[in-house]
Amino acid sequence: MNLEQLLASFPHPVGPLRILIVDDQAVNIRALHEVFRGRFEVLMATNGEQAIALCREQRPDIILLDVVMPGISGHEVCRRLKADPETRNIPVIFVTSQSQEGDEALGLEIGAVDFISKPINPVIVSARVRTHLALKLQSDLLRSIAMIDGLTKVANRRKFDEELDLNWRYCLRERRPLSLVLLDLDYFKQFNDRYGHQEGDHCLISVAEVLSDSVRRPRDLVARYGGEEFVGILPDTDCRGATSRAEVIRAAVKALKIEHLGSAVGKVVTISAGVATQIPDFGSTHQALLAAVDQQLYRAKHDGRDRVCATEIT
């Protein structure tokens, strides 16, 4: 498959591919930018620290990295990127005037996927970048399929666990709040008993669509937590904001007006939701946040269902 066919194969829309060019010489950045402009979104950095920050913020699809730079070297940049779960899967191609076999071997040993010598040949650089982008997209596609719930097409529990860990690290580093929203369809066993499991599946799909429409920021995630439970990860969101979002979701599910005559809280499908928020610190783990949101969901169901209960861990 070519890049365009791979992009079209993903179960969810994929934005324009991003290339990060890292070089302390403006003339080299301009030369590489000329090769890729118009076909990809091109990001640029002139030193290692700036490159690492851009990788965390923008998540480029591939990096063209100079070796010799002021401050930290390209080799050290590569080591740090490969040590970070948020950036370790981004392919790195060294573009450098160092052409000894030992230099190339070292680059590959620390995690680079290729090594291109300066001065660059635009045709060769373009071909190699497209090859490595295709390999990355194939890997991303397989990973994406493995991380999707087969019924509802939102993320599955495995993807949730992975993203929770990544977002915990991100919020810990940036000192930002992390919120979870855990929701459960009220009296769903009675729904299945009355209408059948096929209608139950249709109901879960409809609720998942509401969740996906309500949680849309790039770092946010909606996942099927298990059975009739769904969970949302909301980084950079305080307790008030997360509670407001949960109330929007609760109202939107109710507005679907899916008949549920077996419910004790009304004649349509409703949800109960728990919200928990924490600014991560080095003395805690996300397990406490999970326990807190589970407790709030239990409280919402205990207090009568079709409601949102929230807490903030301080």
- Would you please indicate which residues are annotated as catalytic (active-site) residues? 228
- Answer whether 106's CB lies under 8 Å from 79's CB: no
The 3-state DSSP class for residue 147 equals: coil
Cis omega (within 30 of 0) on the bond before 119? yes
Residue 136 CA, distance from chain mean position: 16
β 271-278/178-185 pair status:
antiparallel
Reference 10, options 143, 99, 207; nearest CA is: 143
- Answer whether 292's CB lies under 8 Å from 276's CB: yes
- Answer whether 124's CB lies under 8 Å from 116's CB: yes
Residue 65 CA, distance from chain mean position: 24
β 229-235/92-96 pair status:
unpaired
Tokens of 197: 């499991």
Residue 58 CA to residue 206 CA, distance in Å, equals 32
Reference 308, options 280, 272, 279; nearest CA is: 272
**H or E stretch at 161:** helix 157-174
Reference 293, options 250, 249, 230; nearest CA is: 230
* CB-CB neighbours of 167 under 10 Å: 24
**DSSP 8-state secondary structure symbol assigned to residue 225:** E
